[in-house]
Amino acid sequence: MTRKNMMAGNWKMNKTVAEAVVLTQDISNQYDPRWEDVDVVLCPPFVDLKPAKTVLDFDKVKISVGAQDVHWEPEGAYTGEISVPMLKEIGCDFCIIGHSERRTLFGETDEMVNKKAKALIAGGIAPIVCVGESLAVRDAGETEEYVCAQVRAAFAGIDAVEAKDAVVAYEPIWAIGTGRTATPEQAQEVCAAVRATLADLFGDETAQGMRVLYGGSMKPENVDGLICQPDIDGGLIGGAALKASSFKQLVEACL
Ligand code: 13P
């Protein structure tokens, strides 16, 4: 089974609308038809989604936009939140959920991640489910157990047909924004365990078709060793996604 690689840029809380339009245009200017062999996704802040999408549509490039979070209810009295129908209407194809920054800084729980995953799937947006261990968990030798439990919790009550377009991003917390990347072997080991968990949940065929990404200080200098691993199907990129030149190199490393 050949899976299409994915390179997704998580811009986090960076770029005003004006800045986002410039960066999106810079990335679009680098576009090469060969990029069609990769799912290229830009995940800017909410306010930048529509402007970024407008630039990409105008340029007719095959680059998707994704959100960084979502609420599970379709509408209602949830001040500050954004719903799946709102994202769908502006053309979001993907949405990150369960990022470690949301889990640790904003109290996102496994139960919330599961509700978000279900709402996104029902609304036709593919979730990018983030999982990953802290340094304390790794040092205790409990990485696989911890990460696979996060995967099971995120997909609780979801069947194979519903799950097939979902993406899992393995992002060890100790590697995010630290410049300290997991070695290709460390990343592969956990991504393989994630896939084995997906196979247990959804069967081997579905699991073989689902993308598992690595994230955490992935950059042009270390992408090659990671991307050639059998269970790593691309990257979820923070810092290196904020410059068109480095993002282009990351996309092209997937070809
Ligand atoms: P960095 O690439 O900046 O380490 O961030 C990774 C990340 O958290 C992507 O979601």
pLDDT tens by residue, 41-86: 999 999 999 999 999 999 999 999 999 999 999 999 999 999 999 9
Rounded mean pLDDT, 143-158: 98
User: Would the pLDDT of 2 be above 90?
Assistant: no
Rounded distance from Cα 137 to ligand 1 centre (Å): 19
**Tokens (6 digits) for 147:** 């990460």
104-135 tens-digit pLDDT: 999 999 999 999 999 999 999 999 999 999 99
What pLDDT score does 180 carry?
Answer: 85
User: Would the pLDDT of 179 be above 90?
Assistant: no
Rounded mean pLDDT, 203-222: 98
Rounded distance from Cα 177 to ligand 1 centre (Å): 6
Which residues are 10's β-sheet partners?
43
- Greater confidence (179 vs 115) lies with 115
Helical segments of 3-99, H only? 17-29, 46-59, 84-89
Known catalytic residues? 99, 171
Helices (H) and strands (E) counted in the chain, each on its own, are: 12, 8
Please tell me if the CB atom of residue 222 comes closer than 6 angstroms to any atom of ligand 1. no
Q: Could you tell me if 148 and 189 are in contact, meaning their C-beta atoms sit under 8 angstroms apart?
A: no
What pLDDT score does 5 carry?
Answer: 98
User: Would the pLDDT of 18 be above 70?
Assistant: yes
- The region, left, alpha or beta by phi > 0 then psi within -120 to 50, assigned to residue 91 is left
Rounded mean pLDDT, 27-38: 97
Rounded distance from Cα 237 to ligand 1 centre (Å): 5
SS3 assignment for 3-15: CCCEEEEECCCCC
Q: Is 219 helix (H, G, I), strand (E, B) or coil?
A: coil
User: Would the pLDDT of 163 be above 70?
Assistant: yes
Mutate to test the pocket of ligand 1, among 219, 223, 236 (most ligand atoms within 8 A of CB): 236
Mutate to test the pocket of ligand 1, among 69, 171, 173 (most ligand atoms within 8 A of CB): 171
What pLDDT score does 181 carry?
Answer: 86
What pLDDT score does 1 carry?
Answer: 64
Question: Where residue 164 falls among pLDDT bands split at 50, 70, 90?
Answer: very high
What pLDDT score does 68 carry?
Answer: 99
User: Would the pLDDT of 241 be above 70?
Assistant: yes
User: Would the pLDDT of 190 be above 90?
Assistant: yes
Please tell me if the CB atom of residue 129 comes closer than 6 angstroms to any atom of ligand 1. no
